[in-house]
Amino acid sequence: MEKGQTFVTISKIVLWTLFLGFFLFFLFQIDNIERSLLKIRQEISDLKRNQRFSNVSSSPVATQESQRKYLHPELPNFLEPDPFNYVCEEAVMKGKLDGTLVQRWPTDPKGFNFIIENDGSLRQKLEVFCIEPAAYDHWNDPEKYAPRAAERIEVLDDYKTWIFYFRRGMRWHRPSLKDWSDPQYRWLKEKLDKEEQYVTAYDFAFYLDMVLSPQVQSGHLKNYYEKVKEYKVLDDYCMVVHWSEKQYQSVSAMTQMFRPLPRFIYEYDKEGNKIPKENVGTAFNTHWFNYNVIGCGAYQFVSHEPGVSIKLTRNESYWGPKPNIKDLVYLIYRDSKQVLLKMKSKEQDLADVIIHEYVVDENKNPDSPFSKGDILVKEIPVVGYTYIGWNGDHPLFSDKRVRRAMTHALNRKDILKNIVLGLGILTTGPFYPDSRAYNKKIEPHPFDLDEAARLLKECGWEDNDKNGILEKEINGKKINFEFSFLVWNTSEQWKTIAQIYKEDLYKIGVQMNIRALDWPVFQKMMNNKEFEAFSGYWLINYDADPYQLWHSTQADIPLGSNRVCFRNKRADEIIEEARRTFEGEKRAKLFHEFHEIMHEEQPYTFFYAPTDEMVYWKYVKNVILRKERPHIFSLPYYIDK
Amino acid sequence: MAIYILRRVLLMIPTFFAISFIIFLIVNLAPGDPGEMASSQGQESAGESGSKREATRIFKEQFHLNKPVVFNFRYGIKEEEILQYISKISKQMAASTKELIEAEEILENYATYALPALASIIEKTDNDEIRNTAIRVFRDNARGQQFREYRSISGKEARELLAKFDQENSNRKQENFQEYQREALYFVNKEIGKRNEYVRSLVYEKNDPPEKKKEVKDKILAWYKERVSWYTYSFWEKVRIAFGDTRFAHYWYNLLHFDFGISHVDKQPVMAKVLDKLRYSVTLSLASIFISYLIAVPLGIFSAVKRNTLSDKCITIMLFMLYSLPTFFVGTLLLQFFSSGGDYWHIFPTGGFIAREYVDMTTYEQLKSLLWHICLPLICLTYAGLASLSRYARSGLLDVIRADYIKTARAKGLPEYLVILRHAVRNGMIPVLTLLASVLPVLIGGSVVIEFIFAIDGMGSLMLLSITAKDYNTIMCISLISAVLVMLGILLSDISYALVDPRISFK
C-alpha cells in the first residue's frame, strides 16, 4: 500500500471520529438543555401552586365563620369529631411528611364519574381521598360520624328532615386536564383564573339532582335515595333534605355517600356553553369531564395514563390536617401474578391482596426480602362472608331440617384450617362476626354426620333400595337425594371444598354433583332460580341492612337478591322494624333475634368471613387498618426510607 | 397497472361490507349481553344491586341494544303476544322466574312499538292486575329517547320537533351551523324531556280509590289517542323500519360518517381509544419485525450456502426448538431470571412500556427507558418468528443458487461471497420481501399474552378486555381495521411482486 493511501485512510478515520464526537457532544448538550427546561417547568408549576395557597388565609369567607346562625341551635349536632387523629406524631417528629406510596390498581377505570361508575377500586382508592363527603364514619367506630364537608347536621322530625351546614371556604381543586393549552378549554381556564370555585350547598343539591334524575345511569346509588321527598338549598352553605319515610338507610345516604358534584363543570359542555336544565341528565352520562376528577378532599387528582398509572398529590389547601404522604401513585396492571415481582423490585410499596401461596414460598427462600423481614405481611379481616345457598323453593331443600342436616355435613372447622389455611373466621349468621349485630351466643352447628343422617331420616329420606342414595316419595314420585352444587370455575378453593363436601355427603347417602361455571352463566342461573345449591360470597357493611337479601318481597321480584327464596314472617317484621330503628342497642337486639332465626332456618350454610393478606415494605410505617371498608386507608401512613 | 389497482380497490368495498356484516352477526348473536364487566368473580356487594333496571334501559337505548340485529318487524306486534307477557308479569298466568325476567326484558326492548297493543289492552281489560301492569309498562315504554348528537336524532316524534324548530329558526341555519345544530338538539331533548315528565307523572298507588285509577287510565288513553299518528305506520314507513331501525343499520349509518361509535365500557370514542393503544403495539411489532429480519435473513443465507452441513442442521434444530417454546412460558421465565423483581439478575424492569415518571424525563432518558422496558417483550415476540422467516430465506436462496446466471458469475471469477451477496441474495430475497406486506395486520394486532405478562396496555389487551366485556363497538372497530389492513396487505404484496419481479405484470 502506498504512503498517500494510508494517509487518506487515517485522515478519513480521524474526520469520522471528530464528526461522531461532535454529534455525540451535540446530543449531550441538547439533553442538558432539555433537562434544564424541565427543571424550569417544574419550578414554575411549584411557584404557581404556592401563589395559589398564599391567599388562602385572606379568603373572604373564612372570616364569616363565627357569625353563623343555626336554625335549631337547641338540637345536638348529629356529627361527633373523630378522636382518632390521622396525622402521625412520629412522622411529624421525624420530619417525614413527604414521600410517595405506590400501590396497585387492577384495571383501567372506565371513567371517574363516581355517580355513574360502580367500581370498588374507584370508591376505595380515589373517591375517599379526593371527594370530601358530608361526613365520614369514625376510624374505629363505624356507627359514629365525624364532620367533613358538613360541620353540623341537625336531624329532626323523627329522622325525616336533615339540615346541613357546610364548611365555608372549601375550594374545588384545579382540574388537571391533559392539555390546558387546548383552545377549547380556554373558557374553563379563564373562569378559574378569574375566581376561585368554592364548594357550596348547590353542589350537594346538584349531586341529588343527578342521582335522582331518570336519565342518569346511577343504578347503584338510586335505591339509597328513593325515599327522598324533596330538598332545598337555604343559602350557599345550608340545605335541607326531607325524606318521605323514616329509614335507617338514610344515615349512610346523608353522610358518607353524600358528596358534592362540581356544578361549574357538569352544567357546561366542552365548549363552555351552558347545557339547558332538561338536557343535563342526558349529557351527564357521556359528559366530557367524566375522565377527570375534580374534588375538594385531602388529595388532588393529577393524572391518569391509561394502562400505566394514576397519580394523586396532596392538596395543600385542604381545610383539615394534611396527610403524611405527599403523592399516591397507583400502577395499573391486570396480572395479579405481577404483584410479587413489583413488590420485590420496590416498584410498588404496598399491595392490598397477594396470593397466599406466594407468601408461603417466599418465606421458605432465605434470600427473599419476605424472610429477611424487609417486606411485612399483615392480615386484613374483610367485612363479608362466604356461604352455600340452598334453593328454598326446591322440593329437596324446602324443609329447614334438611338444610340443617346439610350444614352438619360440612366440615367447616377442618376446611377452614386446612384448605383456607386459617385465613378466615367461622360465621353462623348474616352479619360480620366483629359487629354489634352478630349474636355471639350462637354456637355453630358442629360437623356431625350422624346427626345429619338422623335429621334426614326424620324428614322421610331413606335408602330403601340399598343403592347407597337416599330417596323419598314427593307428590307420588320417587326422588333420589341428588343435586348439583354450583361453584364458579376460577375458584380453586371452592372446587376443593366442594370435593370434600361431596365425599362427606356421600357417606350419608346424598349424591352431590359439582358444576363449575363461568361467572356470567352462574349469575344467570341464580337470577333464573335454576339451581339447587350454590357457593357465594357477599361483601357487606358493618351495619348491614338485611332487607335486600332476606326480606320475603325480595324473593318474588325478578333479579332480586333473595335468591334462596327465604320467607319468614317474623324475620320480615324484624327487618322492617330495624329499618325504622336508629338506636344502636335496639338494633343490635333485633338483629340478635334475626340471627337466631337464621341459625334455626339455615337458608344459607354460613361459612366464614375471609381474611385477605396485604404486604408492604418495612419503610412504610404506621400501617393501621380501618374497621370498615376501605380497610387500607393511607392517611396515617408515612414513608421512612 | 393503475386500472388494475383501481379495480382491486373498488372490489374491496363490497368485500368490506360483507366482512362487516358477518363480524357484526357473530358479535351480536354470541350469547351474553354487554354490560358491566365481572371484575371480581363470585364476589358480590350487598346494597348495590337494587334498581339497576333503569340504568340498563338507558344503556340499551344509548347503544341501540334494544333493537333487533338485522330486520325489525316490530311494527306489527300482535296484541295477544303482549297480553301474554303482561299476564305473566302480573301473575295472572303461571310463569317461572326465568320467563318473568324474559317477559320484562322483551317488553322493555319493544319500547314504543308495543304502545298500540298496550293501549288497547288498557282500554279493553277488566282485570285490575293486568291493567295496573299494562299502565306501568305503557308509562315506561312511552318514554321518548333523548339524543346524544344532532346526527342521531331519529323517530317520528323527534323529526316532527326538528321540523318545528327548523320552521321557527329558518333564517339562522346558514349563519353558524354548528351552533344551530346544538340548539336544535337541545330543543328536541327539552321537548321530549317535558313530555316524558308528563307521562311519568301518570301514576297511581295500589290503594288509591278507583276514581283516581280511572282518571289516570283515561289520561293515558287520551294522551295516546292524541299521538296515535306517531305509533302507527304507513307501508313505506314499515319498510323503512324493517331495514332501517335495526342495530346493523344504525351501525352502518354511523360508519358512513366515519364514526365507529363509542365504547360500551368507558363511553369514549372507540377510534380515539384504538389510536391511543396503537402506539404501544406498533412500536413493539415494528421493532420485533425489524429484529427478526435482521437475524433470520443472514441465518437463512448461511444455511442455504452451507446446506446439509452440520452447521445448517444445528441452526435448523435450534430455531425449531425456539419456535416450539410457548411465549407465556418464556416470558415468565425471563421475568423471573432477568427482572428486578426476580431472584437472580436484576437487569430489566418487571413490566410496562416506559417508566411511569417519563413526563419528567428528557428525550434521551425516555428513549433509554423505553428500550430498557421493551427488551424482554421484544425477545418474546421475536424468537418464535425466526424459524419460519429463515426457512423462507433459505429456500428462496436455494432456488436461485442453481440458476445459470450464478454459474456465469462464478465463471467470471468473482469471489464466492460476492457471488452470493451481489447476485444470488438480491433475487433470492424477493419472496421474503413480499412477505413484509402481509405483516401489515400483525402490526396493529398486538399480542394478548405478551401484553398481559409484561403489563403493556396495547391492542392485544384492549381486544381481550373488549371481548370479555362484550364491547361490541370496540370489537367491531378493531376487526374492521384488521380486515382493511389484510386487504391492503394482499394488494400491496401483489403490487410489490410486480415491482420487484419484471416477469410479472397485471396487463
> If 0-12 CB within 10 Å is exposed, 13-18 middle and 19+ buried, where does residue A357 land?
exposed
Pairing label, strands A100-105, A327-332? parallel
Look at residue A375 and tell me whether its pLDDT is greater than 70.
Answer: yes
Nearest CA in chain A to B335: A341
Residue A359 has pLDDT above 80, yes or no: yes
For all residues of chain B together, what is the average pLDDT?
82
A95: left (phi over 0), alpha (psi -120 to 50) or beta: left
**CA angle (A269 as vertex; A266, A274 as ends), nearest 5:** 80
H-assigned helices in A419-491? 449-458
CA distance B217 to B236: 32
Best of A278, A292, A564 to mutate (most B CBs within 10 Å, chain B):
A278
Contact call for A34 and B363, based on CB within 8 A: yes
Inter-residue contact A445 to A404 (CB < 8 Å): yes
Contacts of A305 in chain B (CB under 8 A): 356
Per-residue pLDDT tens over the stretch A214-231: 878 776 788 788 889 999
Question: What's the whole-number average pLDDT of chain A?
Answer: 87
- In tens, the pLDDT along A436-453 reads 889 999 999 999 999 999
Kindly tell me if the per-residue pLDDT of A161 is higher than 90. Answer: yes
Nearest-CB residue to A111 (from B62, B267, B349): B267
Q: How confident is the model at residue A65 (pLDDT cuts 50, 70, 90)?
A: low
Q: What percent of chain B has pLDDT over 70?
A: 94
* Gap from B360 CA to chain A (nearest CA, Å): 7
**Count of pairs with CB atoms under 8 A, one residue in A, one in B:** 219
Higher pLDDT, B447 or B317: B317
Give the Cα separation of B389 and B291 in Å (integer).
Answer: 11
User: Which residues in chain B have Cβ-Cβ distances shorter than 8 Å to A217?
Assistant: 54-55, 58-59
Inter-chain CB proximity A494 and B42 less than 8 Å: yes
What residues of B are in contact with residue A519 (Cβ under 8 Å)? 38, 41-42
CA closest to A113 among chain B residues: B266
| Cβ neighbours around B78 below 10 Å, total | 9
Could you count the other beta carbons within 10 Å of the beta carbon of residue A226?
Answer: 15
Task: Write the CB contacts of A47 (distance below 8 Å, at least 6 apart in sequence).
Answer: none
Q: Which of B101, B186, B280 sits opposite A528 (nearest CB)?
A: B101
Angle at alpha carbon of residue A289, lines to A285 and A293, rounded to 5°: 110
The mean pLDDT of B446-471, rounded to a whole number, is 83
Asked whether A498 and B68 are in contact (CB, 8 A), the reply is no
Of residues B486, A369, A336, the one with CA closest to residue B478: B486
Q: Looking at the complex, report in whole angstroms how far the Cα of residue B253 sits from the nearest Cα belonging to chain A.
A: 21
Residue A175 per-residue DSSP state: P
Helix (H, G, I), strand (E, B) or coil at A132: coil
* Cα A617 to Cα A375: distance, rounded to the nearest angstrom: 4
Share of chain A above pLDDT 90, in %: 33
Q: Select from B58, B349, B457 the Cβ nearest to the Cβ of A307.
A: B457
Inter-chain contact B194–A365, Cβ cutoff 8 Å? Answer: no
Residue in A119, A219, A343 closest to B54 by CB? A219
Closest Cα in chain A to B457:
A307
Of B50, B341, B362, Cβ closest to residue A223? B50
Residue A171 CA to residue A56 CA, distance in Å, equals 10
Lowest average pLDDT, out of A188-202, B13-27, B358-372, goes to B358-372
Question: Which among B134, B139, B108 is positioned nearest to B121, based on CA atoms?
Answer: B134
Supply the pLDDT for residue A59.
47
- Give contacts of A548 with chain B, Cβ < 8 Å: 46-47, 49-50
- E strand map for A157-308: 161-166, 228-235, 238-243, 299-305
Nearest CA in chain B to A220: B48
| Distances A289 to A242, A261, B265 between C-alpha atoms, Å | 30, 12, 16
Which residue is closest to B334 within chain A, CA to CA? Answer: A341
Is residue B478 packed enough to be buried (19+ CB in 10 Å), middle (13-18) or exposed (0-12)?
buried
* pLDDT of residue B507 exceeding 70: no
Best-predicted range by mean pLDDT (A87-96, A129-138, B271-280) = A129-138
- What is the per-residue DSSP string for B312-336? HHHHHHHHHHHHHS-HHHHHHHHHH
- Rounded to whole angstroms, the Cα distance separating A546 from A601 reads 15
Q: What is the pLDDT of residues A290-340, one digit of tens each?
A: 888 888 999 999 888 888 889 999 988 888 888 889 999 999 888 888 888
Residues in B closer than 8 angstroms to A530, CB to CB, are: 98
pLDDT in tens, B273-290: 888 888 888 888 888 888
Of B50, B190, B200, the CB nearest to A279: B190
Tell me the chain A residues in contact with residue B38 when contact means C-beta distances shorter than 8 Å.
519-520, 523
Answer yes or no: are the C-beta atoms of B296 and B386 closer than 8 Å: yes
Asked if residues A235 and A133 have their Cβ atoms less than 8 Å apart, the reply is no
pLDDT confidence band for A2 (50 / 70 / 90) = low
**C-alpha distances in Å from residue A323, one per residue of A351, A636, B28:** 20, 7, 49
Please tell me which of the candidates A35, A278, A341 has its beta carbon nearest to residue B190: A278
Give the mean pLDDT of A514-521.
85
pLDDT tens digits, one per residue of B170-210: 776 666 777 888 888 888 888 888 888 888 888 877 777 88
CB A580 within 8 A of CB A246: yes
Cα–chain center distance at A182: 35
> Which chain B residue is nearest to residue A431, measuring alpha carbons?
B46
Q: Which residue of B has its CA nearest to A332?
A: B455
Contacts of B14 (CB under 8 A, 6+ apart): none
Burial of B30 (0-12, 13-18, 19+ CB in 10 A): exposed
State the pLDDT confidence band at B42, using cuts at 50, 70 and 90: low
- Taking the alpha carbons at both ends of chain A, their separation in whole angstroms is 65
Interchain contact, A214 vs B189, CB within 8 Å: no
Q: Do A38 and B101 touch (CB under 8 A)?
A: no
What was the pLDDT predicted at B54? 66
Residue-level length of chain A: 641
Q: Which of A107, A286, A303 sits opposite B148 (nearest CB)?
A: A286
Whose CA is closest to A549, among A434, A387, A406?
A387
Candidate from B52, B360, B457 with C-beta closest to A306: B457
A13: buried, middle or exposed (CB in 10 Å: 19+, 13-18, 0-12)? exposed
Chain A residues near residue B362 by CB distance under 8 angstroms:
31, 34-35, 38
Instruction: Pick B334 or B438 by higher pLDDT.
Output: B334
- φ/ψ of A196, rounded to 5, equals -70, 145
Instruction: Assign A56 a pLDDT band (cuts: 50, 70, 90).
Output: very low
A346 neighbourhood in chain B, CB within 8 Å: 340
For B309-364, the pLDDT digits (tens) are 898 889 888 888 888 888 888 888 888 888 887 778 888 888 788 877 777 777 78
Contacts of B363 in chain A (CB under 8 A): 30-31, 34
Residues of A in contact with B41 (CB under 8 A): 488, 490-491, 519
Yes or no, beta carbons of A538 and B44 under 8 Å apart: yes
For an interface test with A, which of B33, B41, B283, B372 has the most A Cβ atoms less than 10 Å from its Cβ? B41
C-alpha cell of residue A226: 328513593
Tell me, what's the pLDDT at B50?
44
3-state SS assignment for residue A471: strand
Mean pLDDT along residues A526-550: 86
In this structure, what are the phi and psi dihedrals at residue A605, rounded to the nearest 5 degrees? -95, 105
Average pLDDT rounded to a whole number, residues B232-253: 86
Min Cα–Cα distance to chain A from B171, Å: 22
Q: Which residues on neighbouring strands pair with residue A170, listed in sequence order?
A: none
Cross-chain residue pair A31–B356, CB shorter than 8 Å? no
Looking at the complex, report in whole angstroms how far the Cα of residue A563 sits from the nearest Cα belonging to chain B: 10
Cell numbers given for B253: 349509518
In which band, very low, low, confident or very high, does the pLDDT at B39 lie, cut at 50, 70 and 90?
very low
N-terminal to C-terminal alpha carbon distance within chain B? 7
Closest Cβ opposite residue B364 in set A27, A119, A490? A27
Q: C-alpha angle with apex A470: A469 to A475, nearest 5 degrees?
A: 130
The DSSP output letter for B341 is T
pLDDT of residue A41: 81
For residue B78, the distance in angstroms to the closest alpha carbon of chain A comes to: 25
Q: Is the pLDDT of residue B444 over 80?
A: no
Best A245, A280, A347 member to test B by mutation, with max B CBs in 10 Å, is A347
Q: How far is A353 from chain B (nearest CA, A)?
A: 12
Query: Which residues on chain B are in Cβ contact (under 8 Å) with A368?
Result: 343
Q: In this predicted model, what pLDDT tens digit does every residue of A575-586 receive, in sequence order?
A: 999 988 888 889
pLDDT digits (tens, 9 = 90+) for B378-408: 888 888 788 888 888 888 888 888 888 888 8
Instruction: Sort out which chain A residues have CB atoms less than 8 A from B62's CB and list them.
Output: 285-286
* B290: number of Cβ within 10 Å: 12
Are B343 and A365 an interchain contact pair (Cβ–Cβ within 8 Å)?
yes
Q: What is the ipTM of this complex?
A: 0.78
**Contact between residue A146 and residue A137 where contact means Cβ atoms under 8 Å apart:** yes
Most confident listed range (A264-268, A518-522, B190-194, B286-290): A264-268
| Per-residue pLDDT at A260 exceeds 70 | yes
- Please state the rounded mean pLDDT for residues B53-72: 79
Q: Which residues of A touch B456 (CB under 8 A)?
A: 307
- Indicate the length of chain B as a whole number: 507
Instruction: Provide the pLDDT for residue A58.
Output: 44
Whether A623 shows a pLDDT value over 80: the answer reads yes
Q: Which of A37, A210, A279 best tests the B interface by mutation, with the highest count of B CBs <10 A?
A: A279
Residues of A with CB below 8 A from B37's CB? Answer: 107
Reduced to 3 states (helix: H, G, I; strand: E, B; else coil), residue A226 is coil
Q: What is the pLDDT of residue B27?
A: 87
The Cα A363–Cα A375 span in angstroms is 10
Cβ neighbours of B266 in A, within 8 Å: 108-111, 291
Q: Tell if the CB–CB gap between B46 and A544 is shorter than 8 Å.
A: yes
